[in-house]
Amino acid sequence: MSSSLALVAATAAEDHHAEITEGRRLLQGEQEQALLADAAAGYYLFGAMQHAARALGDTTASRQLTDQHWEALAPDTRRSGPLRLLSYLDYTEPVATAKADSLPSGHE
C-alpha cells in the first residue's frame, strides 16, 4: 500500500526518479503478476514508469521495463495505443533535426 501511494505522490509531483523506484518496488515479489494482469492497475503502473523513463531520457530503463513486463500485462492493456507507442519509441533511434544549412533554399 505504501509503495502504491508513493507512486501516486511521485507521479503528482513529477518526480520521475521516484516514479521508477516506487514502480520497481511494486513489481517485486508476488504482487507483480496480479498488478500487471489487472487492466487498470497495469495500465497506470506500466504507463507511469514508461512516461517517467521517457521524461528522463532513460531508454535503457524503458526497454528493460518492456522486456521484463510486457507479456504480463493484460491483453487489453497491451492493445493500448499510448502504451504501445511509449514502448515502441524507445526501440527506435532518435531522428536528427535538420540544420539551417542543410535545408533547401528559402527554408532557413
Residue 101 placed within a domain: no
pLDDT band at 4; cut points 50, 70, 90: confident
Residue 46 placed within a domain: yes
pLDDT score, position 104: 46
CA angle 58, 63, 64 (to 5 degrees): 100
- Structural domain boundaries, residue 81: 2-93
Residue 54 placed within a domain: yes
Residue 106 placed within a domain: no
Residue 42 placed within a domain: yes
Task: Inform me whether the pLDDT recorded for 46 exceeds 90.
Answer: yes
Cβ contact 50:27 at 8 Å:
no
Task: Inform me whether the pLDDT recorded for 19 exceeds 70.
Answer: yes
pLDDT score, position 30: 81
Question: What's the CA gap between 3 and 94, in Å, rounded?
Answer: 33
Residues 63-84 have pLDDT tens digits of 999 999 999 999 999 999 988 8
How many structural domains does the chain have? Answer: 1
Residue 13 placed within a domain: yes
Residue closest to 43 by CA, chosen among 88, 91, 5, 76:
76
Residue 39 placed within a domain: yes
- 31 CB contacts (<8 Å, ≥6 apart)? none
